[in-house]
Structures are given as structure tokens and as C-alpha cells.
Structure 1
Amino acid sequence: MKKVIALFLVVFGFVSFGSVRLEVQAADYVLRVYNWQDYIDEGKDENGNPRIDEFGNPVSSVIDDFEEYYHQKTGKTVEVIYTTYETNEVMLNSLKTGNITYDLVCPSDYVIQKMVREEMLEEIDLSMLPNYQQFASPYLIEIFEKYGWENYAVNYMWGTLGFLFNPDKVDYDDITSWNILWDSKYKNRVTIKDSVRDTYIIGVCYVYQEELKELAVKYQTQQIDEAQYSAEVTKIINRRDDETLAQVEAALKDLKRNIAGFEVDSGKNDIRTGKIDVNFAWSGDAIYSIQTALEESDMELQYIIPFEGSNIWFDAWVMPKGANKELAHEFLNYLCDPEVAARNMEFIGYTSAIAGDAMLDLVNEWYAVEDGGLEVDLSYFFEGTVSAEKSLKIETDLATYNVLLAQYPTIDIIARCGIMEDFGDQNEKLLAMWQRVKSNIVPVWVYIVAGGVAVGIAAVVIINRQSKQMRIKRQKAKLGKK
């Protein structure tokens, strides 16, 4: 982080020793954006080198294009100071120290809840975001409204947590349940996330698997609808009473003996090289691995959400207190243009919250196969945002079907996924539990000074998507398309 800031100080040449704020004298306005690493099209390739288009010209970044767009629209100049972070915790610490102020940051859902609770955010004015109102998926908008996030957050990307696996090495009946992680048949052949909140999902779903299975049966037999199902799963995955924490701790300690290890970024590559057969993965990473394995070695990988249930997550833009709200809204509205959103999605690989014609065209380009034989209905996501003549159903083939479902899961898949919540006062106990799981040591003082433990172990909390750069090569020939 310090290196990143130092780089900007050198490049833009604006050190202000009398102030902790960074100023760019050459521009009329300054917009400070703080985002996950590799989470916007910066005009660079996977190695950080400038991309070149088909005519031999350098590809501009979305940031550069916004600055040009703003100048043409207003006649004023804006300088976007764009810096990145690796974890939600780093971002929160930066905001709370106050050394640098930001106009926009992009936290995960449960962190947004924490920031709202602690009154860290400015409110969003949706009237200043016509692109978001017109093109954001109505389905996702409804979720944000349900949780009260629409007043503070603009959805950027979303996805799920599940299993990336090698079907040649794993029995399908095994991979449909969280139990596979504890199965000695796969000892040292699976990896899980070095992330307290993501791995907590594994533990709590394992502990309450019978209850989750009962919910699944109720949904399948139409005793409960999709909204009720998702709401109940959300309640279960966010249980954080002392008894649940103890049971999850015991389950994860037992699990630790069976796995190959904890990881954040290496799993998506380890499964392609045969080091492991199952990886607990974010959907965007899974898409990257599936595509890359097929392209490089004609290797088939698949992604699945366990039958018992899992997590659906959201990353969204928020404005910290003191933000330049007018300029921040202008940038957000630009990002919500379907053509810009499609460009970012193509570069990142994760799924944008924006729909619209340009996005649907991109999805068809990636996945549609004439006479493919498998039809996927995307009306839940795109309906109301595209031209009337556009079909909301995509016909694809077996080679791309699984990737498409990882990108846009069906309603039935989403129904068994819950949303993470801020654990509030239980966060300290959660962090202490995680430390004990990672170390398998339970010192007496942990129970005595639980309030102080969180400070000492904050660095252990890794909710890291540092490899967000999932710009996927989508050549149809390499996907077996006709």
C-alpha cells in the first residue's frame, strides 16, 4: 500500500508536506478511488504491461476514459487518484486513520453493513445515477433494497462460493456436499480459503447440514419459496452464538487434518497442475481456472454449489464521510454504463451487477452456441434492462454450460445461498476462534482478554481477492464451440 502511494507521489509530483491530503494542482477536481487490486480495466495485460489493440495502439484505461469523458461533458478537468488494497481490513484501517481521504471505496457486503452501523458513509442519491437505475439488474436491486443497502451502496460485482473440482478425480455424489472436505478419500487433495469469513461458511454449513438439507427438501417440494429459502440459509450461515462458534471451531480443527492447506490465490492454479482435486473457490476464480485449464491443456474442470447451501456475495461502491459526492456520483454513473461495465467484466472475469444490451451481447458472444442443445434462461437478471427484441434465453453446449452457470447461477442455485452479515460484537470472538483454528493452540489468556485479542490477530483476517484480475480468453474455438 505504501509503495502504491509513493508511486503516485512520484508520478504526479504533488507532495504536500503541510497537509495529509494529496492534491493535483493541474486538474480542476480530484477524485480519490480506493479499490481491490485488479478490479477495473487499467489497460494492462496479465503481466502489468500496456495492452495493444488490433491496430497496434495502446489500450486506454477506464480511468483515463472517464477523465476524458468528464472533460468533454463539463469542460472541466478531473484527476482520478486510483489506489488499491488487498483486504477489507486494510481498507477499513486506511479510512479510520484518516491520513488519506477517499471519495469511493469498494467493500464487500458484510463490511458495508459494518460501515453503515458505524456511520462511516455518505448516502447515495439514486437520482444522480440514471445508468444504475436503468441498467442494474432488477433482481440484484431488489436484494439491496431488502437489506437497506440501496441508500449507501452501488452494486459493482457479485458471485458465489463453491467447489472447483476435477471430475476425473472426484465422484459427483461426493462433491455435492460439504462432507467431501472431511472425507479421508480426499485427504491432502483439497484446499480451503485462508479467510475467516469464507471458511466460517464451510464450518457452519457442516455443523448445520441436516437443517440445511431439510430446507432444501422443503424448497424442492414447494413448501417454501425462493425468498424464504434464501432467508433461512442466511440466518443459518450467520449464526454466531457461543455454542455455534465452539462447534464450528471443532469442525474446522478436524477439517484441518484432512486438507492440503489454506490458500488465497494459489488454489486456482494448483488444481490445474494436479496438486489438488478440489478447491473451495470464489466463482470468478473458478471461471478463470475452468477456462485456462481447457485452453492450455484441454483439461476439464467444473464448479458446483453444495446441495446444503453456500454464500452469495456482493462488492459495492460506497462513499466515505467527507467524500466529494457530486464527483463520486459522476464516476459511478459512468461505470454503470453497460458498455463500460461489460469492458470491466471482460477484464476482471467476475460478474457485473449491470445488465443492458451491451452486457447481454457480450454474454452471447462468450457462451451462445447454435444448436447447442442446452438452454439457460437469464430473464431474472436482464429483464427490464434490454431492448424488446433481445432474447433472454441463451442456447449453449456442454462445454460452456458449467461456466455460464458459474457466471450467472440459476434462481434455484441462488436460493440456497445466503448473504454474509456483520457479526458485530461477536467479531472479536470470531477472530480469536480463527486464530486457534490456524494454530491449534488454546492459551488461557484468550478467554480472559478476548477484547484485546482481536487487535493482536487482526492481520490473520484474510478476505483477499488479490487475484481479482480474471480477464478471460474467451475464444470460442478453444471452448469447443462451433
Structure 2
Amino acid sequence: MKKIIVTFIAALILAAALIALSGCGDTVVLNVYNWGEYISTGKEGTYNTNREFEKWYLEKYGKKIRVNYETFDSNESLRAKLETGSVNYDVIVPSDYMIEYFIKNDMLAELDFSNIPEYKNIDEKYRGLHYDPENKYTVPYTYGVVGIIYNAKAVDPADVTGWEVMWNSKYSGQILQFNNSRDAFATAMYMLGLDVNSEDKAVWDTAKTKLMEQKPLLKARVMDEVFNIMEAGEAALGAYYAGDLLTMQSEQADGVDLRIHIPEKSNVYVDAMCVLKNSKHKSEAEAYINFMLTEDAAVANSLQHCYSSPNTLVLNSEKYREEMGDEALAVLYPDGYDFAKAYAEYSFKNLSQPTLDYLTGLWEDYIID
């Protein structure tokens, strides 16, 4: 009898285990690849976007979902990882020119906007831009401009009148440059009045020469490392995305006074949410994008990443405006700013493959020389 009971209990335990495993198997894993510092993570009691999405999805669809969230630090590193073919992401958030590249190479899925009703919240001026003119593949997430972030305790503000300050020998050893080819070359090209979308190799050669002149003055080439370095006052100035100034200011050390100068000619960009064509969970990916456009998620994420938002619910949010403050809003949404004009003139566009290959070679030579 005892043996029968033990056998029965063992069978129950096995059945329970199988049920548990079956439940795990029913949980969809959604793989999201986004920029660092680009989402509200629940840190210090803040809104946890991915966990809130998981709860929302279960309540709405009666199915379990788990977000596997990873980050990248440049469009070029994103492209390199995707082109290895060894990863299976569902949602990615590239910048405009890289989106063009992905569309050209048939890497993105056309979106079913019936699954994204909150798309109505995206301001019209950020739709139908050159990288996705028919609004088939993308939903704008953020937009912004590149500027020169500097420590006013180490840099004379009178010197910060344009890109030229990045070549000022007065600040030798204290200058940070982008550690990706398009952004780094653009600092030289905008300064020289060159076309950042040129297909002329001679134009890129000229820009490389200018970068080589700057190289001895650099402290480092950086991407996300810029935060710790600038916040600690370990560098005097560097080119970076304007919204990140606000994050840096909130963490700057005593004796550091971070400010920004935005040159007249500078990269204006849009980062947008997309679904990869090889996604195994397209409808779930579209549900994720839709959730990101809802007010609570959009406001929380915007407060975290401090970039300009194309979502009308964000700018109209009293909570957002109060927490950001007037000075921050003036940086992100300057009065009289003509986004359409600036974007048409200064945004990056995808380059032809021969020019991309040539740029890659120039960048490799620049790093090695």
C-alpha cells in the first residue's frame, strides 16, 4: 500500500512538473534590441516598461509573454550583429539612415497598423520621412540633434561657436569624439561645409584628413562611455546627442557645469521602432510597439531617455512637462525650430554600398593610423 501511495505521489509530482513546463513553453519570449538608456527600467521605483507590458499583454490577450531586452550603442554595431545571422530579434530601434539600409536589404517586415492603433498619437510631421516615405515599416520613437556638450568650468564658452572647438588645441587631451564612422565623419563634414550624404570619395577623403588632424587632440573615442567621463569632469568637451546632456546634468559631479552648443549645421535624426522580417512573433512585436505609444509608457520612457518625443501624448502630459522643467524643454523643443527644414537639410541618408564600403575602409585606416 505504501508503495502504491509513493508511486501515486511520484506520478502527481511528475504531472505537476510537466504542467509547469508546459506553462513555460506557452510563454512567448519577445526579443527587443534597443539603444542603451532608452527605456524606463523600474530603477529607484520608476515605471518598469517591459514588466508593465508583460502584465498588460496577459490582461489583454490572456497569454504570457516575457521581454528579453538587450542594448546596442551605435547603428553600426546593430547592423554588424544582425548581419552575422546568429541572432533572432523581433523589435529593433535603429536610426533613419540605418532603417533605409535595412529596407533596401529586405530585412524589415511591413507593419500591420491594425495592431498598432496608438499610432494615432504620432505627430504628422514625423511621418512619411525619407527613410520610410510610405509609412510601411516604422513607428517613430524619438528624434533629436547632435551638439557639442562641454564643461563650462573647463571650456571658455566664448570658444564654443561651432564645430571648430573640437579642433581647438587649447583643449588637447580633453576632447571626446564619436566612436562610429557616420557621426565622427559628420563633425568634420559639417564644419567644412561638405555633404554628409555625398557619394564622392574625394569628399570623404577630405573629411578623413580633417579627422586625422584632430586625432592627436583627442582624449578618447566614445559612445555610452561619454556619460561617466563627462559627468565626472574627466573631459572638457565632446560631440554627442543633445538629449543626453540632460541625463549627464542630473549626474554631474560637484564642480562640473555641463552645457551644450548646437551648431547651425548638425545631424538631425529620428530613431524608430521596427520589426525584423525574420521575427517569429510579429503580432506580439506589433503589440509591444503599440504599448510603447500609450501615455504611461511613452511618458515614462521619455523621462528616462530625455530625447525629444514625436508622441503628442508626451508633450501634452502635465507630468512630463513638470518633471522635465522649462530649461530641459527648451533644449528638446526650442521655440521656432523648423524640424522639417532641418531634417531635410542635415539628416543622414543611407549611402550606396560602394560608398559604405569605402567609408568603412577609411574608418579602419583612421583607427589604425
TM-score range, shorter chain: 0.7 to 0.9
> Taking structure 1 as reference, are residues 364 and 204 closer, same or farther at Cα in structure 2, changes over 3 Å only?
same
Q: C-alpha separation between the residues in 2 aligned to 1:97 and 1:182? A: 36
Quick one: which of 271, 277, 284 aligns to 2:236? 277
> Taking structure 1 as reference, are residues 431 and 97 closer, same or farther at Cα in structure 2, changes over 3 Å only?
closer
Instruction: Give the corresponding residue for 1:103.
Output: 90
Partner secondary structure for residue 209 of structure 2: helix
* 1:155-188 Cα distance to aligned partner (Å, 9 max, x none): 1122211111233443444312111122223333
Report how many aligned residue pairs link the two structures.
Answer: 343
Kept in 2, the 8 Å contact 1:178–1:206? The answer is yes
Instruction: Give the corresponding residue for 1:312.
Output: 268
Kept in 2, the 8 Å contact 1:165–1:279? The answer is yes
> Taking structure 1 as reference, are residues 277 and 419 closer, same or farther at Cα in structure 2, changes over 3 Å only?
same
Q: C-alpha separation between the residues in 2 aligned to 1:340 and 1:184? A: 45
Kept in 2, the 8 Å contact 1:339–1:359? The answer is no
Superposed displacement of residue 344, structure 1? 1.4
Kept in 2, the 8 Å contact 1:155–1:314? The answer is yes
Q: Are residue 175 (structure 1) and residue 104 (structure 2) matched?
A: no
Kept in 2, the 8 Å contact 1:342–1:352? The answer is no
The structure number with the bigger radius of gyration is: 2
> Taking structure 1 as reference, are residues 102 and 187 closer, same or farther at Cα in structure 2, changes over 3 Å only?
closer
Instruction: Give the corresponding residue for 2:7.
Output: none
Superposed displacement of residue 364, structure 1? 2.1
Q: Are residue 138 (structure 1) and residue 124 (structure 2) matched?
A: yes
Instruction: Give the corresponding residue for 2:60.
Output: 73
Instruction: Give the corresponding residue for 2:216.
Output: 257
* 1:303-327 Cα distance to aligned partner (Å, 9 max, x none): 12113x1011222111111333322
> Taking structure 1 as reference, are residues 198 and 90 closer, same or farther at Cα in structure 2, changes over 3 Å only?
closer
* 1:46-98 Cα distance to aligned partner (Å, 9 max, x none): xxxxx4x4xxxxx6732222222122122233333333344434433443444
RMSD between aligned residues: 2.7
Q: C-alpha separation between the residues in 1 aligned to 2:146 and 2:324? A: 22
> Taking structure 1 as reference, are residues 322 and 261 closer, same or farther at Cα in structure 2, changes over 3 Å only?
closer
Kept in 2, the 8 Å contact 1:41–1:344? The answer is yes
Instruction: Give the corresponding residue for 2:359.
Output: 430
> Taking structure 1 as reference, are residues 88 and 406 closer, same or farther at Cα in structure 2, changes over 3 Å only?
same
> Taking structure 1 as reference, are residues 149 and 35 closer, same or farther at Cα in structure 2, changes over 3 Å only?
farther
Amino acid at match of 1:82: Y
Flag structure 1 segments of 5+ consecutive residues without an equivalent. Answer: 1-22, 46-50, 54-58, 210-235, 369-395, 441-482
Partner secondary structure for residue 278 of structure 2: coil
Q: C-alpha separation between the residues in 2 aligned to 1:360 and 1:84? A: 27
Q: How does 1:198-237 map to 2 (within 5 A)?
A: 198-208=183-193, 236-237=195-196
Q: C-alpha separation between the residues in 1 aligned to 2:30 and 2:89? A: 8
Q: Are residue 408 (structure 1) and residue 333 (structure 2) matched?
A: yes
Q: C-alpha separation between the residues in 2 aligned to 1:188 and 1:120? A: 41
Q: C-alpha separation between the residues in 2 aligned to 1:99 and 1:299? A: 43
> Taking structure 1 as reference, are residues 27 and 351 closer, same or farther at Cα in structure 2, changes over 3 Å only?
farther
Quick one: which of 347, 362, 365 aligns to 1:419? 347
Amino acid at match of 1:190: I
Amino acid at match of 1:108: S
Q: C-alpha separation between the residues in 1 aligned to 2:23 and 2:272? A: 27
Q: Are residue 41 (structure 1) and residue 40 (structure 2) matched?
A: yes
Kept in 2, the 8 Å contact 1:106–1:317? The answer is yes
Amino acid at match of 1:103: D
Q: C-alpha separation between the residues in 2 aligned to 1:357 and 1:285? A: 18
Q: Which moved more, 1:320-329 or 1:103-112?
A: 320-329
Partner secondary structure for residue 333 of structure 1: helix
Q: C-alpha separation between the residues in 1 aligned to 2:72 and 2:162? A: 33
Q: Quick one: percent identity of the two aligned structures?
A: 24
Kept in 1, the 8 Å contact 2:47–2:300? The answer is no
Kept in 2, the 8 Å contact 1:121–1:319? The answer is yes
Normalised by the size of structure 1, how large is the TM-score?
0.64
Superposed displacement of residue 266, structure 1? 3.5
> Taking structure 1 as reference, are residues 272 and 67 closer, same or farther at Cα in structure 2, changes over 3 Å only?
closer
Q: Which moved more, 1:274-283 or 1:333-342?
A: 274-283
Q: C-alpha separation between the residues in 2 aligned to 1:182 and 1:89? A: 25
> Taking structure 1 as reference, are residues 84 and 357 closer, same or farther at Cα in structure 2, changes over 3 Å only?
closer
Q: C-alpha separation between the residues in 1 aligned to 2:109 and 2:132? A: 17
Q: Which moved more, 1:66-75 or 1:167-176?
A: 167-176
Q: C-alpha separation between the residues in 2 aligned to 1:413 and 1:277? A: 30
Kept in 1, the 8 Å contact 2:100–2:131? The answer is no
